[in-house]
């Protein structure tokens, strides 16, 4: 069974600086998708960025980018120019590309990010 | 606006009582999901549905039931058999479950269930 591990329960960053959140996963599959979701205090889960495993190029969405290392099974999230609104829980998630029940999301336990003004 | 709505925002359950959480989407998505979130934990899948009148158990289905009579609606009932129901419940939907890159799940705002 696939597992997702986020080893940093809490992280802190100064406003306008850069922070990297770590995520590792375990799978025997070669085709899958990885996601970072943000959960602000409102508790609604918001998709931040998505990466397809078959793509070597790292995904980027404005200030958010990932470092996807397939061989190492690592999927870190970099937030540049951190803003106060970035403060939230961040969840890494894995989904098989096989579809069916294997297509369901598997989540890590999350990293709580604080942004200091 | 297209989206997913969940109601109520807060729900209180008495011992031995069944309660139903509502989830509605107007995104024309085929697949819908229910997750449970406990403090300090990630989300765990309760049930999912790929199409109307069909649904499958997730990792923690015991004590829960669902129905999918309409494409837009996927209500979750927390039965009296669920001994520890206090949690945050999130509903999600995606276009389908075929495994393609477009199968991103989008989430509703959640329901907080508390036991009296």
User: How many CB atoms are closer than 10 A to CB A5?
Assistant: 13
> Taking phi first (over 0 means left), then psi (-120 to 50 degrees means alpha), and beta for anything else, what does residue A103 get?
alpha
Split at pLDDT 50, 70, 90, the class of B109 is very high
Report CB contact under 8 Å: B107, A91: no
Report CB contact under 8 Å: A43, B110: yes
Distance, in Å, from the CA atom of B14 to the CA atom of A91, rounded to the nearest integer, reads: 32
Residue A94 burial (C-beta neighbours within 10 Å; 0-12, 13-18, 19+): buried
Window A:8-67, CB contacts with B under 8 Å: 9, 33, 35, 37, 42-47, 50, 52
pLDDT in tens, A5-59: 999 999 999 999 999 999 999 999 888 999 999 999 888 899 999 999 988 899 9
pLDDT in tens, B97-107: 655 555 788 99
Report CB contact under 8 Å: B43, A108: no
Name residues whose C-beta falls within 8 Å of residue B58's C-beta, 6 or more positions apart in sequence. A104, B33, B34, B44, B45, B46, B47, B48
> A108: which chain B residues are within 8 Å (Cβ-Cβ)?
42
pLDDT of A102 over the 80 cut = no
Q: What is the pLDDT of residue A100?
A: 60
What is the average pLDDT across A88-102?
82
Number of CB pairs < 8 Å for A and B? 63
User: How many CB atoms are closer than 10 A to CB B97?
Assistant: 22
Of A3, A11, A2, residue with least CA distance to A77 = A11
Question: How many whole angstroms from its chain centre is CA A47?
Answer: 9
pLDDT in tens, B6-22: 999 999 988 889 999 99
Report CB contact under 8 Å: B103, A107: no
What is the average pLDDT across A77-102?
89
Question: Phi then psi for A101, rounded to 5 degrees?
Answer: -65, -25
pLDDT in tens, B25-64: 999 999 999 999 998 788 999 999 988 999 999 989 999 9
Q: Dig out the tokens for B1 from the structure.
A: 């606006």
Name residues whose C-beta falls within 8 Å of residue A116's C-beta, 6 or more positions apart in sequence. A12, A13, A14, A15
Report CB contact under 8 Å: A107, B43: yes
């Amino acid at each position: 069974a696939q597992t997702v591990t986020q080893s940093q329960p809490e992280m802190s960053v100064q406003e306008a600086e850069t922070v990297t959140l770590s995520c590792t996963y375990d799978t025997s599959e070669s085709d899958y998708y990885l996601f970072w979701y943000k959960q602000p205090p409102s508790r609604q889960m918001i998709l931040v960025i998505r990466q397809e495993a078959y793509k070597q190029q790292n995904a980027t969405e404005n200030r958010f980018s990932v470092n996807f290392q397939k061989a190492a099974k690592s999927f870190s999230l970099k937030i540049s120019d951190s803003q106060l609104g970035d403060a939230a829980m961040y969840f890494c998630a894995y989904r098989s590309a096989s579809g069916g029940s294997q297509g369901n999301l598997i989540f890590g336990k999350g990293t709580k990010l604080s942004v200091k003004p | 606006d297209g989206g997913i709505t969940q109601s109520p925002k807060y729900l209180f359950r008495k011992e031995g009582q069944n309660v139903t959480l509502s989830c509605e989407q107007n995104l024309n998505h085929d697949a819908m999901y229910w997750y449970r979130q406990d403090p300090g934990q990630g989300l765990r899948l309760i049930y999912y549905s790929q199409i109307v009148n069909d649904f499958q158990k997730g990792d923690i289905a015991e004590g829960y039931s669902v129905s999918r009579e309409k494409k837009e609606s996927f209500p979750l009932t927390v039965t009296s058999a669920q001994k520890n129901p206090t949690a945050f419940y999130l509903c999600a939907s995606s276009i389908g479950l075929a495994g393609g890159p477009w199968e991103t799940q989008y989430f509703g705002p959640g329901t907080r269930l508390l036991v009296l």
